[in-house]
Structure 1
Amino acid sequence: MSFQHLKAFKFYHVIIYVLLGLIMFGIMFSNVKPEKINVQLFSTAEKTIVAPHSFEDREATELLRKEAADKVPDQFIRDKDKVYQQIARVENFFEVLMDTKNQIAELEKVPETSPPPQGGADSSETEEQPESIKLTDAEKLKLLKETLEGQVPERWEKELKDENLLFLLASKEADLTRYKNASVTAINNAMSRDIHTIEDASEAKNLARTELSQSGNVPSVIINISSISVIQNVIYDSAQTQEKKQQAIDAIEPVRISQGDTLVKAGQFIDRETYRLLTAAGFVNQSDNVAPYAGLLIIIGLMIFALVYLFKNIDTAIHSKNTYLTMYLLIFSITLILLKIFSFFQTLNTTEIGYIAPVAMGAMLIKMLINDRIAIFSSIIFGICGSFIFNMVPGAMNYTVGSYLIISAVASVLFLNQHNRRLTILQTGLFVSFINVVTVIALILLTNRDLTGMNELLELGINGTMAVGSGVVSAVLTIGILPFFEVGFGMLSTMKLLELSNPNHPLLRKILMETPGTYHHSVMVANLSESACESVGANGLLARVASYYHDIGKTKRPHYFIENQMGRANPHDKLPPQTSKNIIIAHATDGAQILKDHNMPKEIVDIAAQHHGTTLLKFFYHKAKEQNENIKEEEYRYPGPKATSKEAAIVGTADSIEAAVRSLNNPTPDKIETIVKAIIKDRLQDGQYSDCDLTFKELEEIGKSFCETLQGIFHSRIEYPKGEEEES
């Protein structure tokens, strides 16, 4: 099966997309494949091992969090109710004392005597007076203790001896009130501070004793009871302690090992801690993990999907979509292979060797041979692939080099304009070199590095040199590779068209020297065609260059065409119409054959063959009709084919219009417009535009363009009087 048959295969585009994916996967496979390393505990590392990815050291994180939690002291809170409780107990004790004291007084109170009887009795006869009740100390103590039972702490019992209780019962109420107030004040003052430990409590008790001792006339029993009442008022706060510990734990950031961090250096002893890190990084008990390959396939799939969308909307008026896909596959493969080759030099510890990669070459070739849109997106793909290819750790992405490659490739696409010669490609390469250097400086500055040191300046110089080399090498490779694509695929780039438009081209020199009239006619047709094509969005440069060559077939019999007769007798006057017809018609097929023999691009050959379409040679047809009425019109028509592109249709129309206008003695704007409209209308009615995609609106725009150009060419001039001498 030939290549042409293969390109016509129904699923050829699917094959190309699959090949693109396989090439990307094959080139980047080694950059995502996990590195297998033999790691043994208590051995020596054979090579420096770096983290293949970022991960959290969970064990170290938990250890730090535990240490942080352990450092948090227990949290305590002062219980304000404690002092109130103790004061309430003291006050209650004195209230019981006073109540008991009052109760004893009631019991010992002498009952009132009855009033004397009224009359009938002797005054000497009086009632006997009752005797007063006197409670014993034992009875008083019993009464007081029964009342105090359950209302005083057990620790008071040691101080509340019988003699102390009897003393208090015997005290006056005012003294008891004074004792109570002094005790309450001392307890409150002592417990106004934090009493946390036994030492704190002892100090507070002594403070209360001292205060009461200095108050004067406070019995020791009250001093002792007050001292005993001073207790610990700070309690352990479990909730707050837990909250503080949690805050300390939350404040500890996870211990993260960043991608590329050195885990163990070559020759270093692998202890348990190092072995634990290597285990966490996945170097111990390694198994075949498909996750990296799956991730790479997903990324490749997304890029292929975007390319399918872009190529779906590509203009395929000249070449088939499969041709563009084949070229893209080759350009893309060459670019990635070059990136891969340069990546091999990273073993020289030159981490940024990617700065010299000629990625702009691929972008420029895609722009010139396909289109800008695909070139821009391909620049992004090159950057993504490059970030994998130039990584230092399997599975990682070198974002620095990736960003650099994208900027370099996009800059080449933007600067390379449509009218590009080889010199312009070199200029683009120099411009890309400048952009590369600026990008390198920007990427270094983003790392906040000091550029004043000798080593830093040396590194900057090396990277800058590689950046300049990238642009220059890209331009040189583009110039060297482009002709192979143009010849191999019959592609007609803008640069190729400009080369073909050079007046020193052998075929143009042939037209100029052998058919000067035809040469002038072709230049006029080129001017008309270019402006008309640009007015409807067609390829104006292609139309211009094709116009230069469209009548090259006339060089076989130059004097049989009126523009080359130069006042000579017209040989057609002596020839029969059939012979003249054959000579005239042959110039289209002869021209196409000459162009093919000189390996001219297919687009130009097609325009030369199609510029007359199947139009009628009216002059010789009517001349033959006068001689033989049975002559068929089809015999005096060009064999075609009809124009299949906008450019071919416009060149053919411009050819007819230029010849018609040139035949006018005094071409005025009105005459020019009339001829232009008539020729376009005649060709439209004759079906000459039926095989191309020109619309009525575009035909109208083409007619306006022809009129404007012709009016500029055949504008009126001032007629100077004859014999008038120019004044000095």
Structure 2
Amino acid sequence: MMKIQSYITQIRAIFSYRVFTISIFVLLAFVIFGILFSNVKPQTYDIELFSISDKTIRSPKTVQDEIKTEEERQKAADEVEPVFVYKKDIVQNRVSLITSIFDFVEEVHKETEDFNEDEKAKLASLKKKLTENVTEDVTKSMSDQTLTALLQADTKELAHVKKIVIEQVGFFLQNRIRDDSIDTFKNQIEETIENYSFNPTLKVAAVDIARYAIVPTEIYNEQLTDERKELAMDNVEPIRILQGQVVVQEGHLIDRETYRQLELLGLLESNTTFKPLIGLGLFVIVLISLLYYYFHTLSVSEEKKQTYLILISSIFILSLILMKIVEIIEQPDAILLSYIFPAAMAPMLISIMLNERIAMVMTILLASCGSIVFHDGITGSVNMEMALYILLSGLSSVLFLANQQRSSILKAGLYVSIINVFVILFLKLLGSGQYTNVEYIYYTSFAFISGISSSVFTIGLLPFFEAGFGILSTMKLIELSNPNHPLLKKLLVETPGTYHHSVMVANLAESACEAIGANGLLARVGCYYHDIGKTKRPQFFIENQMNIDNPHDCLLPEISKRIIIDHVSDGVKMLQKYKLPKEIIEIARQHHGTTLVKYFYLKAKEKDEEVVEEDFRYSGPKPQTREIAVISIADSVEAAVRSMKKPTPEQIRNLVHRIVQDRLQDGQFNECDISLKELEIIKETLCESLNGIFHSRIEYPELKDGSITMK
């Protein structure tokens, strides 16, 4: 079956980088939207008024019931009692008014005392005084008989009546009298005055005046009443239909109130809304924007960017599919199965194949999506508890997977399981722990299984992703560095000199790569295999010529040159046969670049001046990466220094400088992104390493018996 990488290469040949990359992002956005669509799509029901519900319907969101709230506010306002204010000045005013009436009667008496005026004239004079001097129109409220009775009374009787009426009026007006109780108090003052012994006619007048004097002393205050009603209405809490609240039970009648609530929640087919879908669209845009920004700032080739993007998208979609499967299996109103989701799988895979940074970004994106997928059966809601669970599970897996070996995946999964258990207990106990012991056992079991299953999925899926996408992960490199690999065993057994040379070059190249920020592990493993082609004709390479004559002494330079150069192509074929990663194969192919096989070229030129230099060069290509450039330098330097007898640090430094300058002038670094500054760092690092390897040793004296004295 063709690798996924091959399909990507074919598609890339058709479209430009920009078009292909944008297409991937757009396709990923549509896939995410499609997977999450059912979790936010407004669920509607075909329900008729006064029908029987065939299912239990819960509120998908929290909404305020404006109608019910307004009813409660109005009810609270109606319960507020009217506010009445006692007016103390009314008492004084009424007493003063009654006093004025009697004073004017007395005044008329005095004015007419010397004149023999009839009763009508006196009455007219009294009315005139009352009208002109009293703000209240007393004459319209008091009968002529009452006023006439007062005018007919003698001074002594009038004074007596005046005193009693004023006292009783003042006494009764001390009470809090309202409009609805005014008649009661008027009757009471009438009964009181009738108990006095007056002239019957004068008694009637006194009663009439007393009843007239009684008015409400507690006045309705509209402003205070309105303020209290407003306060009562403001104190009413808004009536809300809470998210998850049962609106109607299965088998219950859909009455008008229930139907109104369903309509308010948008659960009726006639009230479909697109707002949740718009919200999901914005959510997907945020996710894609984060991924786009990450890849936009990623410092790798365009080809690798696209490969990594498709890899991450595949793992992301796979995780979302697993989420949906768990959600589908999960039964409503049962133990939450969502905690069994392998939340650490995707971060583990990406951390191993790419790096920890994008693994953490993936964890955040998965946690966000998980909060939507695992919505506790409430469509369109967000489960922050599940988001926190996935986030902590994923981040802990990245932290525990620092040592990237396959054996460490299960160990990391075990640690993640423990973290998951603690997170679950934290989440459940934080809410007062309203769960049974059985539920606690289920939740912790699911959390533990989640961590273990994450590591199992990672181990199972990792080879497929590595092979399908051509990803050379740190874990794969560590596996390839195992001396038990068939090719390394072949190299050790058949070409021990070359094996030793490869190990030495690996040490040099790794330290130099790490000094310039390149991939030291890739350089080390690549060095192990870079000369594997020498196993085809081991005796033709000087490091393997122990106690034998050099076979090149008997060969023409052209033949020797072909044997030396062919070790590159032979090695590439062997590496391809054993299906080693492309990066390792390219190291074997490019580590000599297009350098000249100078020894045999000069030897051939001694016989024929017309020898073409190009015929004695490796076929290349030149080093394409910094790692291969470093390996090419380390390879030549190690061989050259090893051929020196008792090299001094100065000799080593000069040799390293000369080899680097020769490669630089020969244009061997023209096709890789290595800088002159980095070359200086490489030279310094190689010199330090070589000085450590080839340092001077003390020569121990040999005794007469042939033994060596150790000091």
Task: Provide the TM-score with structure 2 as the length reference.
Answer: 0.88
Counterparts of 1:55-454 in structure 2, within 5 Å, are: 55-93=63-101, 96=104, 100=108, 103=111, 108=114, 143-149=125-131, 151=134, 153=138, 154-157=140-143, 160-165=146-151, 167=153, 190-199=172-181, 202=184, 225=209, 228-286=212-270, 289-317=273-301, 319-347=303-331, 349-350=333-334, 352-391=336-375, 392-417=377-402, 419-450=403-434
* 1:506 alignment partner AA: P
SS of aligned partner of 1:690: coil
What SS does the corresponding residue of 1:235 show, helix, strand or coil?
strand
* Aligned position for 1:507: 487
Match of residue 32 from structure 1: 40
Change (3 A) 1:149 1:339: closer
Query: Which amino acid in the other structure matches residue 403 of structure 1?
Result: L
Structure 1: 5+ residue stretches without partners = 109-132
- Alpha-carbon distance, 1:334 to partner: 1.9
For residues 326-373 of structure 1, what are the alpha-carbon distances to aligned partners after superposition, in whole Å with 9 as ceiling and x for unaligned?
A: 322322222222211111112264352111111321222222223333
Deviation at 1:424, TM superposition (A): 1.1
Does structure 1 retain, via aligned residues, the 8 Å contact 2:185–2:214?
Answer: no
* Preserved contact between residue 318 and residue 603 of structure 1 (Cα < 8 Å): no
The equivalent position to 1:524 in structure 2, one of 504, 509, 514, is: 504
Question: What code does the residue aligned with 1:428 have?
Answer: A
Kindly state the Cα deviation for residue 648 of structure 1 after the two structures are TM-superposed. Answer: 0.5
1:664 and 1:159 mapped to 2: Cα distance?
152
Number of aligned positions between the proteins: 690
Q: Measured at CA, do residues 349 and 86 of structure 1 come closer, stay the same or move farther in structure 2, by a change above 3 Å?
A: closer
Which stretch shows the higher mean deviation, 555-564 or 3-12? Answer: 3-12
SS at match of 1:267: coil
Give the one of 571, 585, 596 matched to 1:616. 596
Distance in 2, matches of 1:696 and 1:171, equals 133
550, 554, 557: which one aligns with 1:570: 550
Helix, strand or coil: the match of 1:366? helix
Amino acid at match of 1:257: I
Distance 1:141 1:30 in 2: 96
Give, as a single letter, the amino acid of the residue that structure 1 aligns with 2:227: E
Identify which of 38, 55, 61 aligns with 1:47: 55
State the partner residue of 1:535: 515
- Larger mean Cα displacement after TM superposition, 272-281 or 546-555: 272-281
Retained in 2: the 8 A contact 1:189–1:208? no
The 2-side partners of 1:159 and 1:15 are apart by: 108
Letter in 1 for 2:417: S
Give 1:588 shift: 1.9
CA distance in 2, matches of 1:473, 1:500: 26
**8 Å contact 2:646–2:696 — kept in the other structure?**
no
- Report if the CA contact (8 A) 1:201-1:232 is conserved: no
Work out the CA distance in 1 between the residues paired with 2:383 and 2:292: 27
Q: In structure 2, how many angstroms separate the alpha carbons of the residues matched to 1:685 and 1:183?
A: 133
Offset at residue 200 of structure 1 (A): 6.7
User: CA 1:578–1:82 in structure 2 vs 1: closer, same or farther (change >3 Å)?
Assistant: same
After TM superposition, list the pairs within 5 Å mapping 1:692-703 onto structure 2.
Answer: 692-703=672-683
Contact 1:51-1:258 at 8 Å conserved across structures: yes
Cα 1:305/1:169, change in 2 over 3 Å = same
Separation in 2, partners of 1:138, 1:361: 116
Q: Which runs of 5+ in 2 are unaligned?
A: 1-5, 197-201
Q: Please report how far the alpha carbon of residue 248 of structure 1 lies from its aligned counterpart in structure 2 after TM superposition.
A: 1.9
Q: Could you give the per-residue CA deviations for residues 190-210 of structure 1, whole angstroms, max 9, x where no partner exists?
A: 545532255477559968998
Output the CA distance in 1 between the equivalents of 2:21 and 2:676: 34
Q: Which residue of 2 aligns with 1:463?
A: 443
User: Which letter maps to 2:422?
Assistant: V
Range with greater deviation from structure 2 (82-91 or 63-72): 82-91
Match 2:12 to one of 7, 16, 37: 7
1:636 to 591, 616, 621: 616
Deviation at 1:315, TM superposition (A): 3.4
Shift, 1:500, TM fit: 0.2
Q: Residue 99 of structure 2 contacts residue 162 of structure 2 at CA under 8 Å; is this kept in 1?
A: no
Structure whose alpha-carbon radius of gyration is higher: 1
Give the partner amino acid of 1:688: Q
Structure 2 match to 1:124: none
> Which of 579, 584, 594 is residue 564 of structure 2 equivalent to?
584
Post-superposition offset of 1:137 = 7.7
Residues in 2 aligned to 1:499 and 1:226: alpha-carbon distance in whole angstroms:
117
SS of residue paired to 1:263: strand
After superposition, what is the alpha-carbon deviation per residue over 1:484-528, rounded to whole angstroms, capped at 9, x for unaligned? 122222221111100000011111111111111111111111111
Corresponding position of 2:3: none
Secondary structure (helix, strand or coil) at the match of 2:85 reads strand
CA deviations over 1:36-88 (Å, ceiling 9, x no partner): 43423333321222223332333322322222121111122233442343244
**Contact preservation (8 Å) 2:372, 2:382:** yes
CA contact (8 A) 2:266 2:273 kept: no
In structure 2, the residue matched to 1:560 is 540
Q: CA deviation digits over 1:263-303, x for unaligned, max 9? A: 22222233333333333333445366544433333322332
Of the structure 1 ranges 242-251 and 196-205, higher mean CA displacement relative to structure 2 is found in: 196-205
| Cα distance between partner residues in 1 of 2:597 and 2:666 | 13
- Kept in 2, the 8 Å contact 1:415–1:428? The answer is yes
Determine what percentage of the aligned residue pairs are the same residue: 43
Aligned partners of 2:193, 2:609: CA distance in 1, in Å? Answer: 152
Q: Alpha carbons of 1:54 and 1:727: their partners in 2 closer, same or farther (altered >3 Å)? A: closer
Counterpart of 1:120 in structure 2 is none
Amino acid at match of 2:9: Q
Letter of the aligned partner of 1:295 in structure 2?
G
CA distance in structure 2 between the aligned counterparts of 1:328 and 1:531, rounded to whole angstroms? 31
TM-score by length of 1: 0.86
Shift of 1:249: 2.0
| Contact 2:64 2:238 (8 Å CA) reproduced | yes
Contact 2:105/2:150 (CA < 8 Å) preserved in 1? no
Moved more, 329-338 or 540-549: 329-338
Q: Which secondary structure does the structure 1 equivalent of 2:444 belong to?
A: helix
Aligned partners of 1:388 and 1:397 also within 8 Å? yes
- Displacement after TM superposition at 1:644 (Å): 0.4
The worse-fitting range, judged by mean Cα deviation, of 700-709 and 471-480 is 700-709
Q: Is the 8 A contact 2:263 2:271 kept in 1?
A: no
Deviation at 1:623, TM superposition (A): 2.8
Secondary structure in 2 aligned to 1:586? helix
What residue is the counterpart of 1:19 in the other structure? 27
Indicate the RMSD between aligned Cα atoms, in angstroms: 3.4
SS in 2 for 1:420: coil
Deviation of the 1:223 alpha carbon:
8.8
In structure 1, give the amino acid aligned to 2:383.
N
Distance, in Å, in 2 between the alignment partners of 1:722 and 1:318 is 64
**What letter corresponds to residue 278 of structure 2 in structure 1?**
A
Aligned partners of 1:205 and 1:228 also within 8 Å: no
Q: Equivalent residue for 1:127?
A: none
Shift of 1:138: 7.3
Alpha-carbon contact 2:410-2:456 (below 8 Å) kept:
yes
SS state at 1:639 partner: coil
**Aligned partners of 1:186 and 1:208 also within 8 Å:** no
Structure-2 separation of matches of 1:135 and 1:270? 89
Contact residue 543 and residue 647 of structure 1 kept, 8 A: yes
Q: How does 1:684-723 map to 2 (within 5 A)?
A: 684-723=664-703
Contact 1:367 1:375 in 2 (8 A): yes
